[in-house]
Structure formats: structure tokens, C-alpha cells
Amino acid sequence: MASVSLRGDTGDLLKYVGLSTVAAGLLLVLLSRRERRKRTATERSVVFVTGCDSGLGFNVAKQCHRLGFTVFAGCLNVDSEGASLLKEVSKETGRLVVLPLNITLEESIMIAHKMVKDFLAREPEFEFYALINNAGVMCFGEFEWQLVQHIEQQIGVNLLGTMKVTKAFLPLIRRQRARLINVTSHCSLQALPGLSVYSASKAALRYWNEALRMELSYHGVDVVNFIPGSLVMQTNISANQQVYATEMAAGFSEEQRDYYGRYFEEYNAYLSFISGVKPVQSLPDDHFVVKSFTNALLDEKPALVYKCEPWRYKVYHFLFRNTPVGVSDWLVRKFITLPVYKPPHKKETEVHQE
């Protein structure tokens, strides 16, 4: 009886595996066909992008314009290099509007929202196509070092600011069934030491995005999570890192200064290469981040997540999820390659015998 039962179980299992394989194959075919169906961009479709002074936001604004959209590009500083370059692009077609935007200030958000709303009222043949929440800030440093102002800035911009912008635009998004694209981070998938606050803000943004996606699906609104690869050398998201380090050092107690000492200096010396304002860089049209973003914007039925990652990221993230904690922690430290704290000396443990 046992052998018959075993054969029956094995047969059922093989059938299940076979059916699952066929279903997975059909799903992949459907997904591949869906990827080929794109919407057509026109100048009558309006997109609004935040954080366009440099990096991803600057390149997203340019790409949207290149695709044919009318673009409103929010810049923290309308006199920045990125804003000036976007203004030059605008002179050619008049389809790119640079406007001041500080997403931590509700007044600034409402002014930007009114500009878009008034434009659509004057041009009734235009539609609001997408809100792209890109603005973000990053501060490296162990959590004990970061001051309250550093914590509040990252949460205030990355999470609360994005929520405030979205809340202002939601009635317009809902009425016109526009697309909402929120830029999160690989740090929302795996928190990194030295980026605990940044990781927390992006993880919170990711889960907010998922809940919002389900809420807005009833209204025919697509909500997309866009995860770019590392662009730290193509953006100014870390331009103020050495300023942050100076503020952290000034906030140390005498005990902290004595305890961290050389490690703190080595840590921030290592990060000096990402500090300072870098020239604005234009990514080529065939850059994998630009191509992935274009899919997120134009796919007729977008995926839930568009994740840009080189093979190194794929391997690391697979190992992060599938290795024991000790191994995973070691791999995470190897991945981020920051200096590691080394105690100045080891205390001997006294063994008392009773």
C-alpha cells in the first residue's frame, strides 16, 4: 500500500510541477507581449517631475521632453546648473517648464500644483499624464552620529515630502487617470549600514506605494515603484556629505569623540569622493536606467516594480535573501565597502572560579 501511495503522490507532484511550468511559460509570454505595447507620447500629455536639479530627476525631465511630453520640472534651485540646462532645452520647443519646488514646504507645493492646474485649465485639450516623485536626499553616517536635523531632513524629503506632493495632485491624478511613479531605492529592499535613516525612509515609501497602488486601482490609476541602480556619481544627492560630517563631529560628546576618533575620520575620508557639487551629467539614451524608466512611463499596462540592477546587484541581493544572518551581514558590508569599526584593543575577560 505504501508503494502505491508513494507513486500516486509522485505522479500528482509531477502533474503539479508540469502544470506550474506551463502556466509560468504562458505568463512569461503574456508579459513579454505586454512589454511591447506602448503608449504614444504627445505634447498634449503633461508630466510633472520633482527633484530635477541633477541626477535622475534631471535626466527624467530630459527624457520625458525627448519622448514628446510637455514637462513641468520642479527644481530646488531654479538657478542651478541643471535648471539652467533644462531652460535651454525649453527654448527649443517651449514644452519644458522649470519651476521652483521645495517639497518640504506646503506653500511651495501648492504654488507648483496651481501652475500645472492653471495650465490645464487654459489648454483643455491637454491631459495630465503622470506625476513622477523623484526628489530625495541622502546622508551617510552611523545612526548614533546623525543629528536630529539629518534624520528629519531625510524623512521630511524622501517620505513626507513625496506624500505631500502626491496628496496635492491626487484629485487631478484620479480625475484624469494619470500615472503615479514613485522613485524608491535598492535600500528599500536591503537596509545598509551607514544609511539606516535613508533606508528607513525609502522602505516606508515603498510600502506606502504598495498600499496606494491598491487604493487607486479602483479609480483606474496605475501606481509604479521605480528602483534605479546606484547613480551616486551621476547625481548631487550626496553633495553635502562633508558638511553633514562636520555637523556630526561638532555634535559629538567628549566620550563619543574619544570612542570613535580615528574611525570617524577614516569613514568620512573614504566618503570624500562622493562629496561636493558635481557637474550635471546627461545619461545616454541607451543607459539601462533611462530605458527602464521609459518603460515605466510608456508601458500600456505597467509592471508593479521597475528595478534597475547590474548583475552584481542581482547576485548580492539573491545572497542577502538566501544566506544565514551572519553570512548575509558580512556580504552587506562587502557590498557597501565602508570602513568597519575596529576596537583599539581587546579587553581580557577574567574567569572567576568559585
In a domain, 121, yes or no: yes
249 and 100 within one domain: no
Which residues form the domain of 327? 314-340
Phi, psi of 46 (to 5 degrees): -105, 135
In a domain, 18, yes or no: no
Active site residue 129: no
Distances (CA, A) of 244 to 14, 140, 145, 147: 59, 8, 10, 9
In a domain, 330, yes or no: yes
Say how far apart CA 260 and CA 104 lie, in whole Å: 33
Q: How many domains does the chain have?
A: 3
In a domain, 285, yes or no: yes
53 and 183 within one domain: yes
Residues whose CB is less than 8 angstroms from the CB of residue 16 and which lie 6 or more positions away in sequence, other chains included: none
Place of cell 507648483: 112
* Alpha-carbon dihedral 97, 162, 125, 62, rounded to 10 degrees: 40
Looking from the CA of 292 toward its CB, the CA atoms found within 13 Å total: 21
Residues whose CB is less than 8 angstroms from the CB of residue 42 and which lie 6 or more positions away in sequence, other chains included: 68, 69
How far does Cα 327 stand from its chain's mean position? Answer: 26
Distances (CA, A) of 15 to 1, 2, 12, 18, 20: 21, 20, 5, 5, 8
CATH at 104: 3.40.50.720
249 and 168 within one domain: no
Residues whose CB is less than 8 angstroms from the CB of residue 120 and which lie 6 or more positions away in sequence, other chains included: 46, 126, 127, 128, 172
pLDDT of residue 1: 38
156 and 121 within one domain: yes
Q: DSSP per residue over 86-128, as a string?
A: HHHHHHHHS-EEEEE--TT-HHHHHHHHHHHHHHHHH-TT-EE
159 and 265 within one domain: no
pLDDT of residue 313: 82
Q: Tell me if 49 sits within 8 A of 132, measured CB to CB.
A: yes
10-residue mean pLDDT series, the chain (354 residues) = 41 49 49 67 96 95 96 96 94 94 98 97 96 96 98 98 98 97 93 95 97 97 92 73 95 96 94 82 89 96 91 84 91 87 60 40
In a domain, 9, yes or no: no
pLDDT of residue 350: 40
pLDDT of residue 23: 55
332 and 211 within one domain: no
Specify the 3-state DSSP secondary structure of 307.
strand
Could you tell me which of 102, 192, 103 has the C-alpha nearest to residue 140? 192
Among 256, 276, 296, the domain-final residue is: 276
104 and 60 within one domain: yes
Place of cell 548631487: 236
Could you tell me which of 187, 294, 273 has the C-alpha nearest to residue 230? 187
pLDDT of residue 8: 47
H or E stretch including 311?
A: helix 311-322
In a domain, 4, yes or no: no
Q: Quote the pTM value.
A: 0.85
Among 253, 276, 299, the domain-final residue is: 276
pLDDT of residue 20: 52
259 and 244 within one domain: yes
264 and 127 within one domain: no
335 and 190 within one domain: no
From the candidates 16, 129, 198, 270, which is the catalytic residue? 198
pLDDT of residue 354: 39
129 and 43 within one domain: yes
Specify the 3-state DSSP secondary structure of 183.
strand
Q: What is the DSSP letter of 63?
A: H
In a domain, 19, yes or no: no
Place of cell 508601458: 299
96 and 47 within one domain: yes
Specify the 3-state DSSP secondary structure of 299.
strand
Q: Tell me if 126 sits within 8 A of 119, measured CB to CB.
A: yes
In a domain, 350, yes or no: no
